[in-house]
Every structure is written in structure tokens, then in C-alpha cells.
Structure 1
Amino acid sequence: MMDLDIGICSDIEKKQKKKLMLDYLWENLRYHNWWAYKYYLCEVLALVNVIGQMFLMNRFFDGAFLTFGFEVISFLDSDQEDRLDPMIQIFPRMTKCTFYKYGVSGEVERHDAICILPLNVVNEKIYVFLWFWFIILGILTLFTVIYRIMIIFSPRMRVYLLRMRFRLIRQDAIDLIVRRSKMGDWFLFYMLGENVDSIIFRDVMQELANKLNKHNFHHVGGFKGDIQEA
């Protein structure tokens, strides 16, 4: 981030880089929605991917995967005399095998036997882990998508998040910037604040607020003083 994440550089270099950042933000204000929406779309696709993976697994296991973890938990909590291991139902550890070999008369003889499947002991543990991993990942991703939706439709929440995360910036500056910008700009500000030195970011944001306050920003049509929607 132009070495502005460490804040250790000469004053002249720091001023030049802050000016470059400020000029970019000023010239491109309200033009970052498409970039932000593409980012959010990737998070939605991540949720779709997790859900799709679970349904593909469920189809592969003939409808037994979606409830697999719940059945394992129920199995562990039930009485030892009554419980039936769901892992053995999906991954049997023993099965009937049929062998064909030549007998003493030279003819092929058929032999039935019981075969041990030790690899299924490992497989069942892997898929139990995968079930819990998909559930945790799906819940966290769902919360992330809900959080993004709240950000998109609630400008006041965007103000609150900036205030809570970047306390060095004056509240009136944050209010003005969010009011004069769009959701994509807010997302860019937030990401910049995460990756730029806090003092430098404070200076850039306050200079941007001063610039917005002095100029009638030509991209803001119909601005009435209320916080603008995305």
C-alpha cells in the first residue's frame, strides 16, 4: 500500500503518497460500487459452494450425509445397549467376500469369507470431520453474507462501523464522508484503514472530509443532507 502501512518514511515522501491517495479518492468517489459488489458476490458464491458440496456429498451417500453428523452425535449420547453406529452403516468394517481359486481337482472352486475393511475406519473419521467443517463454514459464511446485506442497505451501520474501527477520525468527518459517498466507497475506505497506518489514514480521511465540505461535489445529485443509500 505504497509503504503507508508502516508509517515510517520521510515527511516529503509521506505527503506525496498521501496526496496520491487523496487525489484518487476524490477523483473516483462514488465509482467503487461495482468493485465492492463483485467482492460480495464472491462471498455469496462461497456460500453456494459450501451448500452445493454438502448436497453433492449427500447424493453420493444416497441421502445419508446431510444428517450424518447429527446421527453420530446421537449415537455417542445414546445407551450402549441400544445404539447403532451410523458410521458403520455408511462405512462397513466387515463384508462378505467371494473368492475363486483352483481346487485339488483342477476346477475353479468358490469360497465365501468375511473380509475386514480397515481403510473404512479412517474414511468414517474423515467424513465426520468434513460434515462438521461444512456446517461451521456454512454458518460463518451465511453470517458474513447477512452482514454484507446489512452494510448494503444500512448507511447508518456503515457510519457506526467506521466510528468503532477508526476512532482517531473525527465523527463529523466520518458522517460527512459516508453521506457524500456510496457503499463501494465505504468498503474501500474500510479496507484502506485496515492496511494503512492509522495516523496516515486519519489524515487522508480528514482531508477528504474537508475537501467535500468545501466543494459542492458534482457527482452527488439530489443530496439533501441525509445519509445516502448505497
Structure 2
Amino acid sequence: MLDIFRGLKNLVKVSHVRIDSSIFRLHYSLTVMILLAFSLIVTTRQYVGNPIDCIHTKDIPEDVLNTYCWITHTYLVISSFHKQVGRDVPHFGVDKMPTDESDMKVYKYYQWVCFCLFFQAILFYIPRWLWKNWEGGKIQALMMDLDVGIIPDMEKKQKKKLLVDYLHDNIRQHNWWAYRYFFCELLALGNVIGQMFLMDKFFEGEFLTFGIKVLRLSEEDEERRVDPMVKIFPRMTKCIFRKGGPSMNIETHDALCILPLNVVNEKIYIFLWFWFLVLGFLSALTICYRFVVFVSPRIRGFILGSRFRLLSQDVIQTLVKKSRLGDWFLFYMLGQNIDSIIFKILY
């Protein structure tokens, strides 16, 4: 399993040039790596074994029954959810075949889990892809290796002059560039919220309250409580297999199936529920922070002063008064990448 994470680490390797915030990097680096790793894990038999094993009769080959139940669906009996396991039913939701189809909770999502996780990883990377193309390598081009403190004086003077000339000639012309980044941060927040609803749709309205139900489980009566993880990710289900007999009479076989893959799936999605909640909260705070920066020049000056303490207050106030939001954002990102001593001398 460690080999999977080592390979994914190179895939989502973060550049040493900082063109975004640490919260934004959580979306396209750590979250993408987690989703891709989960997608690979659920498709690898080495870690979870066979995805489904059904108790079969001699009339039906084992592989045929397993394949059929996997590619179609399995089900549980809704009316038996509150029956006591071991006394009324052998397993949670496993009861005799109901006469009414509305009493059947059908499970057909499990063969799509790996594809859904992979699709989610792509969605999380889209804001990064957009910003990387819109940013166009501007920060790296303006750095000119000034992130290295020890360089020849002549070379340092030439590069500083080039950078100062660019900033002077293009003052008040970076708003649109900064707005694109702020849009990508807003898109990242919308993606997290949207993915919560996407997974809720995927699990037929059971996901949004999934984590809350898991936390409340310990407070409920042990004999009456229904484990939400077993309800969404059952380990034992039933499958109906029909075939034509010798005289073409339909024979119905009600098989009992084990889904070992759901032991992994439940851990994956309870982790994702809490992770998306934390990531959404941090992203929402970031958007609030951007809004305050957008409306308050005084806050921009305070942020520059607290982040780059070598700059004098007179320099900071001059920068804020003579520049716009986009210029401030460019100054801030350059300060994140350029050596602090050189950055002080620039201004």
C-alpha cells in the first residue's frame, strides 16, 4: 500500500514556487492524492479480496452467480431493519424475499465507487489547472532566482532593477490577474460543497447526515439502534437470480451475498465526510478573508506588515496607497517567494 502513496506523491508534487495559498493547495495536492489512493485501493484485490461472494446452489456456477449479482444489484429488506439480529433475522436487513418491491432497498453503487472517486479527484484538480494556466508563470518569471540569498552582487542588482522596472511600469494593471485567483478559490469552495451533494445523490440521500449519525450511534439504545455504516454499506445482502428451467419455466434463486469491499468503503466515506467538512470550513474562512482584504486597504497594509516585518511602515503605506488590490496580491506572492532581505531592498 505504501507503494501506491509513493507513486501518487510524485503525481501531485507541489512546486517550490508558491502561486497560491496553503488552503488552496490542500484541494489539489493532499485531497487529490487521497481520492486517487482510495480509488486504487478499492480496485486492488490484494487489499480487499473478492468484491462479492454469494452462497450458491449446485444449479448455478459460483462465478456466474457472483458476476451476475455484482453487475446488477443486491438488496436488503427495509421492514426488517429494526428486527433484532440473531433472533429475528440472521443479519441486518436480511429477511425472506418481500412481495412488495417498495420494501426492497437496492444497492447498485458499489461497482461505481472507484470511478466516482477518480472523478472526484479530477474535479478537485480543476481549480488548480485553471489558475496555473491563468497565472502563466508570472511569479516564477519575476523571481529571477532572487529566492536564493547568496548570488553575485552584479547579477543581484541587474535582476532587482528589472523587477523594479516591471512593477513600476505595470502598476495598477494586475487586478484581473488577482481576480482570477480569487475566482479559483471560490470555485474550490463550491467544489467541496457540490461534492457533498454529489455523494449524497450517489448514496440516495444518505450521505449528508452520515457523519452525524455515526457520532450519535454511541448514544442510542444498543438493542434498537441502526448502524448507519451497515445501512449504507451492508456486509451481507441478498440477490435474486432468475433462470429458465428445462421447460422454460422461470426458476428464482434468492442468494445470500457477502460484500467484503464495503468494509473498506465505509471507512473511506466516513473519512471523506469529515475531511470535506474540515476542508469546506477552512475554504469558507479563506473566502471571508479575501472579502475583507478586497474591501479594506488598511487590512492589506496590516497583512503586509505582519507578514514581512523587515518592511517599514512608510513603505507599506506607500504601497497600499499607490497600488490596487491586484498589485497588493502580486507584492504579497513575490514576498512569499523572494528572499526576505532582497524583498526589503526592493521597496
Which of 224, 227, 233 in structure 2 is aligned with 1:85? 227
Q: Is 2:145 the partner of 1:3?
A: yes
1:189 is matched by which residue type in structure 2?
Answer: F
What corresponds to 1:182 in structure 2? 324
* TM, length-normalised to structure 1: 0.82
What corresponds to 1:137 in structure 2? 279
Listed one character per residue, the Cα deviations across residues 117-150 of structure 1 (whole Å, up to 9, x for unaligned) are 2211211111111111211111111111111111
Give the Cα separation in 1 of the matches to 2:299 and 2:224: 52
CA positional deviation for 1:52:
1.1
Q: Secondary structure at 1:187's aligned position in 2?
A: helix
Give the Cα separation in 1 of the matches to 2:264 and 2:154: 62
Q: Percent identity among equivalent residues?
A: 62
1:165 is matched by which residue type in structure 2?
Answer: R
Q: Is 2:167 the partner of 1:25?
A: yes
What corresponds to 2:215 in structure 1? 73
Q: Which runs of 5+ in 1 are unaligned?
A: 206-230
Listed one character per residue, the Cα deviations across residues 145-196 of structure 1 (whole Å, up to 9, x for unaligned) are 1111111011110000001011111111101111111111111111111100
Give the Cα separation in 1 of the matches to 2:335 and 2:279: 27
Residues 33-112 of structure 1: pairs in structure 2 closer than 5 A: 33-99=175-241, 109-112=251-254
2:285 is matched by which residue type in structure 1?
Answer: F
* TM, length-normalised to structure 2: 0.56
CA positional deviation for 1:26:
0.6
CA positional deviation for 1:79:
4.1
2:254 is matched by which residue type in structure 1?
Answer: D
1:116 is matched by which residue type in structure 2?
Answer: I
CA positional deviation for 1:199:
0.8
What corresponds to 1:192 in structure 2? 334
RMSD: 2.1
Between Structure 1 and Structure 2, whose CA radius of gyration is higher? 1
Number of aligned residue pairs: 205
Q: Which runs of 5+ in 2 are unaligned?
A: 1-142
Listed one character per residue, the Cα deviations across residues 42-82 of structure 1 (whole Å, up to 9, x for unaligned) are 00011111111111111122211111111111113434333
Give the Cα separation in 1 of the matches to 2:174 and 2:297: 15
Give the Cα separation in 2 of the matches to 1:106 and 1:163: 84
Give the Cα separation in 2 of the matches to 1:103 and 1:37: 68
1:164 is matched by which residue type in structure 2?
Answer: S
